[in-house]
Structure 1
Amino acid sequence: MNAAVRAVVRTALSAGAEPFAIMEGWIGAINGGDSIRPMKWASVSSILNKGGTVIGSARSDEFRTYEGRTRATKNLLEQGIDRLIVIGGDGSLSGADEFRREWAQQLEGLVESGEVSAELAAAHPELTLVGLVGSIDNDLVGTDMTIGADTALDRIVTAMDQITSTAASHQRTFIIEVMGRHCGYLPLMAAVAGGADYVFTPEAPAHPGWQQDVCARLQEGRDAGRRESLILVAEGARDTEGKDVTTQDIAEALKDGLGEDARISILGHVQRGGSPSAYDRWMSTLLGYAAAQELLSPQAYGQACILGVRHNRVTRLDLEQAVINTRSVQKMIDSGDYVAAKKARGNTFFEMSQIFHVLSDPPDEANPASAPRVGILHAGGLAPGMNTAARAAVRMGINRGWNMVGIDGSWQGLADDRIRELTWSDVEGWAFDGGAELGTRREIPPVESYYAIGRAIERNRLDALLVIGGFNAYLAVMQMSQERSRFPALAIPTVLIPASIDNNLPGAELAIGADTALNNAVWALDRIKESAAASKRCFVAEAMGRKCGYLALMSGIASGAEYVYINEEPLTLGQLSEDSVILRESFEQGRRLLLVVMNEETSTHYNRSFIAKAFEAAGENLFDVRDSALGYIQQGGAPTPFDRLLATRLVHAGLNSLEESLSSGAAEALYVGMDSHEITARPIEDMPRDVDMNARRPKKQWWLSMYPIIEVVSLENAKMSVRKVPILTADQTQENEK
């Protein structure tokens, strides 16, 4: 929420508007006075990394009454406020819309009672409302994500990873209760990302005999070699008769059915706390920026809407209809239409509810030796989430009736026959580890090695390849595909899964590993800012990405950097000189810290050291300058829940493409990715059309439209940029891009 508040305040100031914060929710509007505070630039400084909300939030029974809303109307009018941005759940937003609808009636009553002058009422005849959904449950229909959901999911999965080590050590079952009174997003996604055995969600009420089903599923997992078992339960879980299914109920079922004493862990409000994730910072910044634009638009005056997220773009939703659609899900559940309830939550929710069972249920028996053999290979630089992708590929492939083969050591490993059969239990635990169990290498195999690779494919009877990797993996597959006429053994179905922290792959707006790298970079930048708190300092930090500025820009937005330099926006000496002057002036006016983020190949002329020295010369001992490359910390650590879920979805789509190729006999090479609409598979021959081969990045990069936000939300006295971030819906995307 803080990121959204910060963006709203600073965007409004940049546009020449006067923003106010209503403290403690509607209570502040009713109390008036100091509870409605004018906000300045510094009012929202240093809040990006803080959990909660600095302006407070509270429920108000008094606002539910007409008299309470009358007091709120009067207090807002006294400050000249007739535009509101409300951040909350569907209840808060529907209440705000009711307030908007009765605004004229309230004005009439206040004028009649003499509490407000007719002139003041006439100056503010309508109330304009823009809603942003703040809910860790991610329960609003029509938006992919709500503010706070990504951070809450990260808290849950982190706890699951830690509990898993304890559970495995003692061969125990843990029953974990997570939030989700009416929506199963958190438990379902955490179950997929954290490797749970069973999950209870409101959208899939437990059927009669669920106790025996849970016991049977857990026993199958143990028989397959699993040492630990995790069961996730939404706080709103029920059975088909409407009776609550509690953690204690499940523990008793396991005691009766398996003779096992399960441990219960209720995560509670830890899910709401702590520093927000990188996604919840940059996306909430984008939403706050767009909300201020929407609110100040003449066309929006007197209207109400919700701004949500679809495919990483801001989308405008009708407030009333969004609330109706959200509340209709419970009606579907109550009527027993559970499939419709899952579909109403969105395609991802429905898809993951099906994928979960494939990943968690061991097969009854091994596939026959005559079944198709699919090789899994990593290539290119390391990306967190490669193990998740390999695990998903093995389990989904086995479920399709294939024999899955792991290739150690990339292309050279294939040529050297370093190949092993992978069973369902072999990949247990891979989803949660960084690195790559199968190994990866950056080298693109030379033409001279194609014969050896082809022979290895024949010797090992590989029918298809799933290649998980980065730009060099794509180049290798493209080059080998062009040589298939000379080396026929290479002509087998091949699918590329995008995995690169650089996020520079064609057809994939987000690659596996990029979210983890971004969170690592933001964590490091937070520590850098803390280290500079005791002195006056400018810090120049370099992110990875080569000539793709994704990590630099997004970490700059998420960490509150004042300047971001990326290769896509050429840095000139004139700009560097101008920035040096502004930098010095800001320190003279009392600034203590300024953060600059750049990507590693921002410019052929001005590297990190040059920029640091230029700023140091401009400072003339007024402040000191430090510079550092964030380095390989960006590639390390366990993958984030987002990367685990993305890897699972992309592999699922990739295996669908392989299945089609194996069925039709086509030996095409495809790359899979998620664009602004859906997951697609494109022929490798399209790569030169989609990519700037010299810069090694896509010709169209969706995130570049956010570049102007840095100037508006990070540089005081900046004016609203002409290059506004477009507000897009899924249907409008192509037309707006045109």
Structure 2
Amino acid sequence: MNAAVRAVVRVGLYTGSRVFFVYEGYQGLVDGGENIKEATWESVSMMLQLVRDRDRDRGTQGHGQGQGHGQGDTGTRTGTRTGGHWGICSWAGRGNGVLLTGPSLSLTGPSLSPGSEDEGRISPCSHPCYHPVLPQTRDGGSRLNIIIVAEGAIDKHGKPITPDDIKTLVVKRLGYDTRVTILGHVQRGGTPSAFDRILASRMGVEAVMALLEGTPDTPACVVSLSGNQAVRLPLMECVQVTKDVTTAMNEGRFEDALKLRGRSFQNNWNVYKLLAHIRPPATKGRGTPCHLSVTLMGLRGASVTPGLPPTPLTPCFIPQVEEIGWNTVGNWTGLGGSKLGTKRTLPKKYFEEISANISKFGIHALVIIGGFEAFMGGLELVEGRARFEELCIPLCIIPATVSNNVPGSDFSIGADTALNTITNTCDLIKQSAAGTKRRVFIIETMGGFCGYLATMAGLAAGADAAYIFEEPFGSRDLQANVDHLIEKMKTTVKRGLVLRNERCNENYTTDFIYNLYSEEGKGVFDCRKNVLGHMQQGGSPTPFDRNFGTKMGAKAVAWVTGKIKECSRHGRIFANTADSACLLGMRKRSLTFQPIAELRQQTDFEHRIPREQWWLKLRPILKVLAKYNIELDTSETAHLEHLTRKVLVPEATL
């Protein structure tokens, strides 16, 4: 929530509006007086990493009001969306923007809301449903089972399902030692994740734009994220559909309730059922993906559902094949790194060995999980089809790299985990700087030539600048940043944070920038530097990476299964068309399969980055929030969409 408040206040001030805090929720609007105070730029400083809403110290509902463009606009950033609905019904004729911040994502319509990813680190389910998985996992040899029960779970007759009921049933019917743990309000605590901070910042900016673009006839809207695309949905429709969900649940129309929850919820539910409600196969067979722990559960579970046999794995392209059992990957979801190991070896000089192993093990398809080398290796395997018939099998690439530099996908598995590590480290460094006063830290991040980590970490941590290769800079830019920090030290915020991508410029190194800042800021601030290094590649995967990897793995196996059937002729598989070798990636609002041959034209092979990168359009937000006087690009602000059309369009099945 705090990141959203910070973005709303600073972007509102940037546009020339006056922004106010309203304490005590909607009652504060009624009472006025001390409950309404004007916000300043410094009043939202150091808010990003706070565990709870700073305004809650006064029991606020977190209501912000901005005045600009000759009219009063109300921007609500609160969990009480029904209250916003009531207020709008009672107070017509105003432009209204509503920003979601509830961790339980209880309003139907948005795919993501600020706070929901943080809660997922503790409790992966916040909807009224019950998840039984005992028989299937016990058949696979598992000694531990976890059953998650939402607080509002009911059976098909509408009777509440409680943890104690389930415990009694398990003990009585199965004889397993069972414990009950109620998480409670611990789910609402914790430092905000990088994902939530960036989401909230983007939504805060979008909310301000919605207010300023609105007219007295513009309907109130909910601002959120669908896939990787900002969306505005009519508040009235969201509230109505939410009520329809409750009605459907009360009437026992659970299928209708599931459809009304939206495509994202349906897709997540289908993937869960795909992986949890299946039994290990009775017979063994072969197929082959390579790498990354967090995705292999999805690959493994999905591969047996359509009748495919268990999957052997090979680390990188050097021919090494090891057959695995059902439980081998059972606990890999929460493990960081790659249990199989990774290498930068490319397949071109091993075509003969790879072809021999494909024939020997009866491999019918390849799922390659990795970074830029995985993409290049896929291209080489496609080129090798002309010489080796064994390579004429379906091939799917899943991007997985902290650098997020694979063309064809907005996100890569692992990038969110690295981003969290950088952001948490920056929080600690900012705390040190705040205690010392008048200190600026220069932080070097990884990513090769790709500036994704530096930019997004800068947005999440509240950096004053982020230097990247994609946005060339020179000595004048460095001096301008120093001057900006000198002016900043005259305010109540006497600290600075600057990020630098490791290969942003071969001459303006971290040491050079550190020396320049130290010299030019002498007498005003001192400077420190920190190279984060390989700590960015460690850590347990974030909930986003776990869920993203699982869904990508399941969808990849479903795709190769279909391609195997499509390319089977007279008992053998022959796939040599462009669409039989694809990369699975997130593009704006959906997961799409793109022929890797077509992605070649979209790639800068010299610098190992895509030619066009979506996150560059977020760079102006970073600078505006750091109080630079620049023009904010609003060319891709969201447009109002109707929810009724969205919820009735089904998601493509796996």
TM-score (norm 2): 0.90
Pick the aligned partner of 1:358 from 274, 293, 316.
274
How do residues 323-342 of structure 1 correspond to structure 2 at under 5 angstroms?
323-342=239-258
Pair 239,153 (structure 1): closer, same or farther in 2 beyond 3 Å: same
Which residue in the other structure is 1:460 paired with? Answer: 361
Is residue 129 of structure 1 aligned with residue 31 of structure 2? no
Pair 392,722 (structure 1): closer, same or farther in 2 beyond 3 Å: closer
Which residue in the other structure is 1:636 paired with? Answer: 538
CA contact (8 A) 1:375 1:404 kept: no
Residues of 2 paired with 1:306 and 1:82: CA distance? 18
Residues of 2 paired with 1:526 and 1:608: CA distance? 20
Which residue in the other structure is 2:553 paired with? Answer: 651
- What displacement does 1:404 show? 3.2
Structure 2 counterpart of 1:726, which letter?
A: E
Deviation string, structure 1 residues 525-545 (Cα, Å, up to 9, x no partner): 111112222322111111111
Greater RCO structure (CA 8 Å; 6+ sep): 2
Which residue in the other structure is 1:98 paired with? Answer: 86
CA contact (8 A) 1:144 1:310 kept: yes
Structure 2 counterpart of 1:96, which letter?
A: G
Pick the aligned partner of 1:672 from 558, 574, 584.
584
Pick the aligned partner of 1:151 from 103, 118, 122.
118
Residues of 2 paired with 1:626 and 1:513: CA distance? 28
Which residue in the other structure is 2:305 paired with? Answer: 399
Secondary structure of 2:443's counterpart equals strand
**Structure 1, 677-686 or 719-728: larger mean CA deviation:** 719-728
Which residue in the other structure is 1:470 paired with? Answer: 371
How do residues 407-556 of structure 1 correspond to structure 2 at under 5 angstroms?
407-412=313-318, 414=319, 418-445=320-347, 447-535=348-436, 536-556=438-458
Residues of 2 paired with 1:298 and 1:325: CA distance? 23
Pick the aligned partner of 1:708 from 620, 630, 634.
620
Residues of 2 paired with 1:611 and 1:424: CA distance? 52
Which residue in the other structure is 1:608 paired with? Answer: 510
Pick the aligned partner of 2:73 from 83, 90, 95.
83
Structure of greater Rg? 1
Which residue in the other structure is 1:265 paired with? Answer: 181
RMSD: 2.5
Secondary structure of 2:87's counterpart equals helix
Structure 1 counterpart of 2:592, which letter?
A: T
Is residue 727 of structure 1 aligned with residue 648 of structure 2? no
Q: Pick the structure with more helix per residue.
A: 1
Pair 364,585 (structure 1): closer, same or farther in 2 beyond 3 Å: closer
Residues of 1 paired with 2:48 and 2:204: CA distance? 13
CA contact (8 A) 2:299 2:557 kept: yes
Structure 2 counterpart of 1:422, which letter?
A: I
- What displacement does 1:99 show? 2.7
Residues of 1 paired with 2:204 and 2:618: CA distance? 12
Residues of 2 paired with 1:483 and 1:365: CA distance? 33
Secondary structure of 1:539's counterpart equals strand
- What displacement does 1:15 show? 1.3
Secondary structure of 1:601's counterpart equals coil
CA contact (8 A) 2:334 2:541 kept: yes
Secondary structure of 1:533's counterpart equals helix
Residues of 2 paired with 1:448 and 1:221: CA distance? 41
Residues of 2 paired with 1:39 and 1:484: CA distance? 63
- What displacement does 1:226 show? 0.5
CA contact (8 A) 1:672 1:679 kept: yes
CA contact (8 A) 2:419 2:457 kept: yes
Identity %: 32
Deviation string, structure 1 residues 237-293 (Cα, Å, up to 9, x no partner): 011222111111111111211233411111111111121111110110111112122
Secondary structure of 1:411's counterpart equals coil
Which residue in the other structure is 1:596 paired with? Answer: 498
Residues of 2 paired with 1:388 and 1:264: CA distance? 27
Structure 2 counterpart of 1:586, which letter?
A: K
Secondary structure of 1:240's counterpart equals coil
Pick the aligned partner of 1:376 from 277, 286, 289.
289
CA contact (8 A) 1:501 1:513 kept: yes
Runs of at least 5 residues in structure 1 that lack an aligned partner in the other structure: 62-71, 105-125, 158-177, 188-198, 201-213, 379-385, 733-738
Pair 45,608 (structure 1): closer, same or farther in 2 beyond 3 Å: same
Deviation string, structure 1 residues 18-43 (Cα, Å, up to 9, x no partner): 11100121232233211101111111
- What displacement does 1:344 show? 2.2
Residues of 1 paired with 2:60 and 2:121: CA distance? 30
Pair 298,357 (structure 1): closer, same or farther in 2 beyond 3 Å: closer
Which residue in the other structure is 1:119 paired with? Answer: none
Deviation string, structure 1 residues 347-403 (Cα, Å, up to 9, x no partner): 23212222223322452642355xxx311213xxxxxxx212112212211222222
Secondary structure of 2:545's counterpart equals helix
CA contact (8 A) 1:236 1:244 kept: yes
Is residue 567 of structure 1 aligned with residue 473 of structure 2? no
Residues of 2 paired with 1:290 and 1:219: CA distance? 47
TM-score (norm 1): 0.81
Residues of 1 paired with 2:361 and 2:327: CA distance? 22
Which residue in the other structure is 1:168 paired with? Answer: none
- What displacement does 1:669 show? 1.7
Residues of 1 paired with 2:136 and 2:230: CA distance? 44
CA contact (8 A) 1:389 1:648 kept: yes
**Structure 1, 687-696 or 643-652: larger mean CA deviation:** 687-696
Aligned length: 627
Which residue in the other structure is 2:167 paired with? Answer: 251
CA contact (8 A) 2:23 2:59 kept: no
Runs of at least 5 residues in structure 2 that lack an aligned partner in the other structure: 568-573, 643-654
Pick the aligned partner of 1:624 from 495, 518, 526.
526
